[in-house]
A = this chain, B = another copy of it.
Amino acid sequence: MESRFSPSLFVDLYELTMMQSYFFNNKNDIAVFDFFIRDREGTPRRFYVFAGLEFLLEFIENLRFDEEDIKYISELGLFKDEFLDYLRNFKFEGDIFSVEEGRIVFPDEPLVEVVAPLPQAQILETALINLLQFPILSATKFARCFLVSKGKLLIDFGARRAHSLWAAQVAARCAYITGFHGTSLLSAGKKYGIPVYGTMAHSYIMTYEDEKQAFEDFARLYNGTVLLVDTYDVEKGVRNAVEVIQKLKDYGIKIRGIRIDSGDLIENSKKARKILHDAGLQDVFIFLSGGINEYKIKEILEAFPDLAGFGVGTEATVSADLPYLDCAYKLVEYGGIPRMKLSERKKTFPGRKNLKRLYKAGKMMCDVVIPFSNPDDMPDESELDSDFDSYEILLKKVVDHGQVVEKIEDRRKYIFYCRDRFMRDFDMLPEYLKKLEPPREGEKYPVLFGKELSSIIRSTERKIQESI
């Protein structure tokens, strides 16, 4: 669609005005920026799934300003020639540490940490947040569908109402990482090797005068197909399907299931099952779509478990009950000195960090945010409920002096790895987090701060309070 996309111009103007000021004021020391999710009371999420790193790495590798970009920037009338020359030769040469894609994470945790000369770390802000925010949002939403799906088939049907073609591809990828079985979207199937699913739309039926003829023509072409039965009337549609199934049996043609896409899905499923049962077609499955989200999956399966699965569309693709994450990319250290923002309800935690996860009896026990320089830092003992069996450090170096450490050579293999990574974390997720409702007081996963980090936070805050 785009003859050429300039990743470098995926920048808010203020990143460049700040950069020019850094440039002329020689503020080129090493800066550390953290990307994290903000904790907000009442947010309907007990856990999040980290995703999108692949897109960030792709962006870092392509971050350049070409002459067309420079010309545009120059015409804004804000930038001097010396700075434009600097941009001409710009590339990212810093380090980036990140949690792996597919991992379960929580608010207030450093998920990505950028360590680079100040202007280089600054310029990533807009793109980095954009490239991570939606994947995390999306993976988290799909993981919630997986959480309540009891092993049923889950297919992403959301492409048409994603906020762009690209968002649709990203969503299909996130759905697959978090336990979905496939997508309807061919471009995602091709790019990521995700299995693709789909049969017919209502329009197919409507091009025929006779629903049965439509079913028959389709089944003759696709042995083992699924028929959409609710174009005009679900009960009549199922009876028509039954007739066609019985007729085609003699020709060795099988119809594996029916799909219902409208009305009261529980009632319609019950009616359909009864008709199929009465016709001796117990093995024909029922697949549901239309307005499905995690709450509906849970409700439907509790009322009527005899289903093959769900096509999950719009509601999950746009994460309708939480269409954006409160997340940020903030300066936490500059020139070796921890930095901290004290804005109301938007405080940040200073200093270069890492993230440690403690396990007990095969389950996550708590996470500990620690200073990067002290992996042994631990929270005050009073904050730990019990001993832990093992621990793990979650931030890993993914970009070293501007070079991606492990290039993603094979996207298809990579997302299998991410999916496996998610499944392993999901197995270790404590039961109290496996709920759809917002966490109540005392039900939040403990994200603790190491003693040394806590002391850095306190002293930084004190110093700022004294200086302003």
Binding site for B on A (CB under 8 A): 1-2, 5-7, 9-18, 20-22, 24-25, 27, 31, 33, 55, 58-59, 62, 69, 72-73, 76, 78, 118, 122, 125-127, 129-131, 133-134, 137-138, 157, 159-168, 170, 184-187, 189-190, 196-204, 206-207, 209-211, 217-218, 221-222, 230-233, 236, 240, 261-264, 314-315, 318-320, 323-325, 327, 330-331, 334-335, 339-346, 464, 467-468
Taken together as a complex, chains A and B put the C-alpha atoms of A133 and B324 apart, in Å, by 18
Which residue of chain B is the closest to A323 with respect to CB atoms?
B323
Question: Closest CB of chain B to A147's CB: distance in Å?
Answer: 21
Contacts of A33 in B (CB 8 A): 203
Cβ 8 A contact of A233, one of B62, B263, B468: B468
Known: A21-B221, A331-B206. A1 touches B59 (CB 8 A): yes
Determine how close the nearest CB of chain B comes to the CB of A35; give it in whole angstroms. 11
What are 29 A-B pairs with beta-carbon distances under 8 A?
Answer: A1-B59, A1-B62, A10-B185, A13-B189, A14-B200, A15-B201, A18-B200, A18-B201, A18-B203, A18-B204, A21-B221, A76-B196, A122-B203, A126-B184, A130-B159, A131-B165, A133-B160, A134-B164, A137-B163, A163-B163, A164-B166, A166-B166, A202-B341, A206-B334, A207-B331, A207-B334, A232-B341, A232-B464, A320-B324
Selected from B27, B162, B184, B342, the residue in CB contact (under 8 A) with A232 is B342
A190 touches B9 (CB 8 A): yes
Query: Do B222 and A78 touch (CB < 8 A)?
Result: yes
Q: What residues of chain B lie closer than 8 Å to A122, measured between beta carbons? A: 201, 203
Residues in chain B near residue A22, CB distance under 8 A: 207
Is the beta-carbon distance between A164 and B130 smaller than 8 angstroms? yes
Complex interface: chain B residues within 8 A of A17 (CB): 198-200, 218, 221-222
Q: Chain B residues with Cβ under 8 A from A217's Cβ? A: 21, 25
Return chain B residues, CB-CB under 8 Å to A318. Answer: 163, 318, 323-324
| Besides A14-B200, A21-B218, A165-B166, 20 other A-B contacts (C-beta < 8 A) | A1-B59, A6-B190, A12-B160, A13-B185, A13-B189, A17-B198, A21-B217, A24-B221, A129-B161, A161-B324, A163-B170, A164-B166, A166-B167, A206-B339, A209-B467, A262-B343, A262-B344, A263-B344, A263-B345, A320-B323
Q: A186-B9, A323-B318 are in contact. Are A14 and B341 (CB under 8 A)?
A: no
A164–B10 Cα gap in the complex (Å)? 11
Q: A21 — which chain B residues lie within 8 A by C-beta?
A: 200, 204, 217-218, 221
Q: Cβ of A12 and Cβ of B186 under 8 Å apart? A: yes
The answer to whether residues A330 and B133 also contact, given A186-B16, A232-B343 and a CB cut-off of 8 A, is no
Closest to A263 in B: B344
With contacts A17-B198, A209-B467 taken as known, whether A190 is within 8 angstroms of B72 at the C-beta atoms is yes
